[in-house]
Amino acid sequence: MDHQRSPTPRLLAGLAITLTAVAVYAGFTIVQLQGLEEIQSRTIDRNRIDSLLLLRIQNNLNSMALAMRDMVDASEPYSLAAWQGPFKRIRTDLADALSQEEHSAPEGRDPEQRRYLTVSVSHFWDALDRVFEQARAGQENEARALVRLSLQARQESLATAVARLLVGNNETEKAAAERTRQIYARVTRNVYIFLGAMLVLIVATSLYILQYNRRLFSEVAALAQSRSDLAQQLISMQENTLRSISRELHDEFGQILTAVGAMLHRTEGHAPAGLRADLREVQEIVQSTLEKVRSLSHALHPVILDEVGFEGAVETYLPLLEQRTQIAIRYEKTGMIRELDHTVAIHLYRVLQEALNNVVRHSGSPRAAVRLQYLPASVVLEVEDEGVGFGTREQPGLGLVSMRERGELMKGKVEFLDCAGGGALVRVTVPSIPCEESQAIG
């Protein structure tokens, strides 16, 4: 391989230019966002709070108007002095609302508007106090006349002033919204400019490194082959390790737990009546542990392969899976049955498990078909479902990769196909191994 100058300096220069452009754009954007935040906090939020307080003041003024209407109409059998309590509550709430509104008023509001509102409210309460003084002096009619001629007019004037303040707040909010829109427009324009500059820089950098990367393709291919070889070795080591652990669990721990269960059973017959319930409970725990150990042992390595071979293992596994998942599995086998090499049987069994696991987890199919064909020169295992198929997957999962690796270990081929009518088909083809004993399937 010829030695060429490293692209690192040019790439670092391009990175520096990119970072500089990003820093400049980020600084400008931060300034714009700070202005937007100032508008949000100083204008929009403050204006919204002030409008809510003005609505609260307006609600108090409306309550005052209703109360004065009832006072003038004399529809209630009460003297005017009885209205002091409701007006006292309104006065307290109105004073609190005016105090809060004074601190949250927009910065651009005319001080004369605020002064007029404060003075008008003060004059209203002074006039109301005179009304209640006349009422307490027994001058009910004069008091009602003062309400009708003076207080109601003052209340209407206050309501008009508050309405004008609300209108002013709305206009201020519209102006702030327009300023916000302009800031967004400037930021959007700069985003497009920045993206265009970055696109040009990225294209230039990509064209530069494209030629350089071509030289690495052969090395990548060699590394991929090495990875495949390593994966096959890891699968072989994994099977050996799992087989060893499975045998230890099944032979050692299984025998120990069986012996403990037998000893507890014998002890139960000679134990006092008070301890028998506890011994039975311990026996149940031991039996449950034994079943879990056996299940774990079978999951780590299907011992049934060693006992009845591949054919018997498949016939035992499929009904159990069908019962556990409620997926109807149709099993077909054709050709002359012959015993498979033990290593091939293990890999073929693992591929079958993984393919059916994909049916259960991903396909959504209520049915599946397993076909085993003994051909003169090969053995073909097919797992087909009626689900979504492989075409909907963005990338293959680890299960599919594992099946491919196992197919290579068996010197065979694994195919993942989408069926024409919907569904997926996994086909494994391995070379046939000559065997002395075989029998025909009827």
Contact assessment for residue 438 and residue 336, using Cβ atoms and an 8 Å cutoff:
yes
- What pTM was computed for the model? 0.43
User: Whose structure tokens read 């090499």?
Assistant: 341
Give average pLDDT by consecutive 10-residue segment, the chain, 442 residues. 60 74 75 66 74 88 86 74 86 88 76 83 88 84 84 87 84 77 77 78 74 72 71 70 69 71 70 69 76 66 73 83 85 86 84 87 86 90 85 64 81 85 87 53 38
Same-domain pairing of 271 and 348: no
Per-residue model confidence (pLDDT) at position 404: 84
Is residue 30 in some structural domain? yes
Per-residue model confidence (pLDDT) at position 87: 86
Per-residue model confidence (pLDDT) at position 438: 40
Per-residue model confidence (pLDDT) at position 57: 87
Per-residue model confidence (pLDDT) at position 300: 65
Same-domain pairing of 272 and 309: no
Same-domain pairing of 289 and 320: no
Angle at 128 between CA 125 and CA 130, to 5 degrees: 115
Same-domain pairing of 17 and 59: yes
Cα separation, 79 vs 144, in Å, equals 11
Nearest to 153 by CA among 70, 85, 65: 65
Same-domain pairing of 54 and 87: yes
- Residue-by-residue DSSP string for 228-276: HHHHHHHHHHHHHHHHHHHHIIIIIIHHHHHHHHHHHHHHHHHS-HHHH
Is residue 55 in some structural domain? yes
Same-domain pairing of 276 and 350: no
Number of structural domains in the chain: 3
Cα separation, 118 vs 162, in Å, equals 11
Is residue 103 in some structural domain? yes
Is residue 223 in some structural domain? no
> Domain end: 279, 300, 321, which one?
300
Per-residue model confidence (pLDDT) at position 440: 39
Is residue 418 in some structural domain? yes
Is residue 3 in some structural domain? no
Same-domain pairing of 247 and 395: no
Q: Which domain holds residue 361?
A: 303-440
Is residue 136 in some structural domain? yes
Same-domain pairing of 101 and 147: yes
Same-domain pairing of 283 and 408: no
Q: What is the CATH number of the domain that holds 322?
A: 3.30.565.10
Same-domain pairing of 64 and 96: yes
Same-domain pairing of 380 and 273: no
Same-domain pairing of 81 and 142: yes
DSSP symbol at 82? G
> Domain end: 250, 266, 300, which one?
300
> Domain end: 300, 315, 350, which one?
300
Is residue 220 in some structural domain? no
